[in-house]
Structure 1
Amino acid sequence: MTTTVTIIGAGLGGLVLARVLHVNGIPATVYEAESSPTARTQGGMLDIHEDNGQPAIEAAGLTDEFRDLVLEGRQAMRILDRDGTVLVDEPDDGTGGRPEVQRGELRQLLLDSLPAGTVRWGHKVSGVRALGGGRHEVSFADGTTAVTDLLVGADGAWSRVRPLLSDATPEYIGSSYVETYLLDSDTRHPATAKVVGGGSLMALAPGRGILAHREKGDTVHTYVALDASREWFAALDLTDPGAVATRVAQEFDGWAPDLIALITDSDTAPIHRPLFALPVELRWDRVPGVTLVGDAAHLAPPNGEGANLAMYDGAELGRAIAAHPGDVEAALGEYEQAMFPRSAEAASDGGRLHDLLFGEDTPHGLIAAFAEDRMP
């Protein structure tokens, strides 16, 4: 195959695509805006699903290496009422199909699996334009350019490649997360660490919730979810971490002290994460020489599927390209026609999950849905 393949974004989807292409003898170049693999933290825990994330890793030929990253016991789950009453307490008995890994470690595994020089760091895209015949030119902030036969946008929510295909832009869904961390929690925050347990914890009420997960090294990573306008969050003084934590905690007045401590006792400054989504049924007409994977194509409310779908997109696109070495358009058409309904279904499920987590019937509606899923 003589087609040049350019991937924008060194997230999980773009890296799986590059790896699957490499396994099939097809070179690709990945351009990433960040200056290095360690330029920023790479998020928290990921549960890798057996119907999409794990097959993507298998397609990349990295199943054994992936298993070495799995953190045992992290599939344990607790659901608490706001007063701290334990409503659900499921241990990790080793039979679950969603093993947990650290996102950063999985990303590094993919990076290490690629030939040296595949990823070009410090290349922030400033523009893209069609040259005709399916070829595109990518311009970077440092003044350099790259011309390619096949351009793949794996560059997330605010993709610079998406405008070649669609004028859709992400919209705020009315909810945000505030991230906090308790470090060395068993030693420094023992009461709260005990409440969280060995895996994940969800304490929920209409319009708000505390979602915590035990990561490596006794770190407890918490997402404080709150339905509020962007203006409400904009009024927070993010330069004053204590004031932010205090103001957010006020929205959880009356909750159990050990749950509130996940907000107020953070060992790091709170991080505001506004949540955006693309239209659920987003599609586009086939445009020669360009496509999207992951959040660039189907950003949805958090539902545990985002990283898994991005990796699956990358794997499926890589396999389609390998299966049609002389016909890139056939590969892109095949990939997109399967990706559109798959991502729409996942986005719809994400909306339903958000309602279960933070709707008027939470947490009991969520518990009932879990019970129904487990019925034979």
Structure 2
Amino acid sequence: MTELPPVPSSFPSSEQVARASDVVVLGGGPAGLAVARLLHLRGVTPRVLERDAGPHARSQGGSLDLGERGGQLALREMGLHERFEELARPLGQRLCLMGPDGEVRMTVDEEAGEYRPEIDRVQLRHLLLDALPPETVTWGARVDEVTPLPGGRHRVSLADGSRLDADLVLACDGIRSRARPLVTAARPAYSGITFVHGDLRDPGPGSFVARHTGEGILHALGDNRAILAQRSADRSVRVYFAIRAAEDPTRSQGERFEDADAVRDHLRGTFAGWHPDLLAVLDEIDGDFAYWPLYGMPAHQRWRPRSGLTLLGDAAHVMPPFSGEGVNMALLDAVELVRALFAPEHRGLDEAIAAYERSMLDRMVEVVHRSYAGADLLLNPEGTAPLLKHFAAAGASVPGER
């Protein structure tokens, strides 16, 4: 395990959470592990409940780009930025924009815009796990219910029948958060966009999609359809087939398709008329296809005051991934919450939580709007034209523009 650095002198110090003897974090994703790390640095080691059977139980998905004022800021506060820089891939910012005819419309290199290097989700998870005592995370802990108790405490009931009571519950349990109904009536709504994704685990030298993905990403955009590809650190390429379509009520998010050939046939029909070199990637995918409908919370939310409990990350503000801000905002949530909990101007936990929630909800309004605006740039009737106009309006240097 990585040796824990000393608490930076800039950290505020108080005893705001000294009486919260039992702190439980729901979820071992980026938000949950980050808030656990930040609390641990301040002498409070929470119990993290994670439904995965272990750290290697499943694929964590593709890569994440961490911004300077979001994920990177959080990692600096956690004392982990140096290790992040060792793992991060600046070349992962490179973008190749292509039409359905297979012609490149634009390329943008890593020097354009904010410095947002990529890191694989699994690498980020292990970076955060290595910075915590091994006993912090309880694996295979599926939360069934969160119930209020007298005095601002809560009872967390698990699927195996066990229960634990907590002074402070930090819900980082994602889109299906069991704690969310306690603070808001708002629920995630289907965005109208569905991903079907698969992986090129060992792409060959003749792969058209892998070659144009390069070290970064490929966006092939057509009429309300897109083929999006992203390079991972292990040299594999994750490919997303994105369409505007009605949600399939017979399937659940993340479900694997049993009949890969049927999925290939369906996608060939959906992307009929696209260049054969682009569609050839369907036969290169050497694993299962997965169903991934995209959901989002409203930009403006109203939360009820709730003693001893709050939400972070996707549990608080899940949104479609088109602004690249989901994990950045989750990590920033952890920073802002822990700062509030230890700020001397807040008289008690409830006041600190309320301050965090006001700031976070205000911050997320613009971010959620940007996410849906990003969806419209990538999936629209005009294909690549809106994104090209967006780059031109932003004054981006776009070598290779056609």
TM range (shorter): over 0.9
User: Hey, what's the Cα distance between the residues in 2 that align with 1:331 and 1:152?
Assistant: 13
Contact 1:77-1:90 within 8 A present in 2 as well = yes
What is the aligned partner in structure 2 of residue 58 from structure 1?
76
Q: For residues 31-71 of structure 1, give each alpha carbon's deviation from its aligned partner in whole angstroms, at most 9, with x where no partner exists.
A: 11111111111111101111211111111110101111112
Q: Which whole-Å CA distance do the structure 2 matches of 1:104 and 1:45 have between them?
A: 9
Give structure 1 stretches of 5+ with no counterpart. Answer: none
Q: Deviations over 1:293-342 (max 9, x none)?
A: 01111111222111111111112112211225861112101110110011
What amino acid maps onto 1:360 in structure 2?
A: P
What is the identity, as a one-letter code, of the residue corresponding to 2:209? T
Counterpart of 1:285 in structure 2 is 304
Between stretches 91-100 and 70-79, larger displacement belongs to 91-100
Structure 2 residue identity aligned to 1:178: V
- 2:167 is aligned with 1:149: yes
1:269 maps onto 2:288 in alignment: yes
Tell me by how many angstroms 1:233 deviates: 8.0
Structure 1 letter corresponding to 2:43? G
- Contact 1:181-1:221 at 8 Å conserved across structures: yes
Per-residue CA deviation, residues 353-376 of structure 1 (Å, 9 max, x unaligned), is: 111111233311112112222369
- Write the letter of the residue equivalent to 2:187: T
* Correspondences of 1:1-376 after superposition (within 5 Å): 1-3=18-20, 4-93=22-111, 96-187=114-205, 189-231=206-248, 238-303=257-322, 304-324=324-344, 327-374=348-395
Q: Report the secondary structure of 2:268's partner residue.
A: helix
- Distance across 1 between alignment mates of 2:63 and 2:281: 17
- Deviation, 1:292, is 0.1
Moved over 3 A (4+): 93-96, 189-192, 231-234
Please give the secondary structure, in 1, of the residue aligned with 2:92: coil
Change (3 A) 1:191 1:231: closer
Q: Deviations over 1:134-155 (max 9, x none)?
A: 1101111111111111111100
2:7 aligns to what? none
Shift of 1:218: 2.4
Distance in 2 of aligned mates of 1:373 and 1:213: 23
CA separation in 2, counterparts of 1:233 and 1:270?
16
The question of whether the paired residues in 1 share the 8 Å contact of 2:90 and 2:116 is answered with no
Tell whether the 8 Å contact from 1:205 to 1:362 is kept in structure 2 after alignment.
yes
CA distance in 1, matches of 2:112, 2:247: 41
Contact 1:126 1:141 in 2 (8 A): yes
Superposed CA deviations along residues 189-243 of structure 1, whole A, max 9, x for unmatched, are 4333223222101011231101101112321111110111124986x99321011
Q: Distance in 2 between matches of 1:175 and 1:252?
A: 15
Distance 1:333 1:229 in 2: 37
The amino acid across from 1:174 in the alignment is G
CA contact (8 A) 2:256 2:291 kept: no
Q: Contact 2:68–2:116 at 8 Å: present in 1 too?
A: yes
Tell me which amino acid in the other structure corresponds to 2:310.
Answer: T
- Report the Cα distance in structure 2 between the residues aligned to 1:339 and 1:237, rounded to whole angstroms: 34
Q: Is the 8 A contact 2:208 2:278 kept in 1?
A: no
SS in 2 for 1:282: coil
* 1:327–1:51 CA distance, 2 compared to 1 (3 A): same
Cα RMSD, aligned residues only? 2.0
TM-score of the aligned structures, taking structure 2 as reference length: 0.88
The answer (yes or no) to whether the contact 1:44–1:102 under 8 Å persists in 2 is yes
The whole-number CA distance in structure 1 between the counterparts of 2:89 and 2:105 is 25
SS where residue 92 of structure 1 aligns? coil
Q: Distance in 2 between matches of 1:122 and 1:230?
A: 29
Q: Is the 8 A contact 1:211 1:222 kept in 2?
A: yes
Residues 243 and 237 from structure 1, CA distance in 2 versus in 1: closer, same or farther, beyond 3 angstroms? farther
C-alpha distance in 2, partners of 1:347/1:298? 8
Label 1:35 to 1:232 Cα distance change in 2 as closer, same or farther (>3 A): closer
Deviation sequence 1:97-151 (CA, Å, 0-9, x none): 1001111011111011011211111111111111122110111111111111111
Calculate percent identity across the aligned residue pairs: 37
CA separation of 1:374 and 1:13: change in aligned 2, threshold 3 A: farther
Change (3 A) 1:233 1:198: farther
Cα separation, partners in 2 of 1:307 and 1:363, compared to 1, 3 Å: same
The total of aligned residue pairs comes to 374
Distance 1:198 1:99 in 2: 11
Contact 1:180 1:262 in 2 (8 A): no
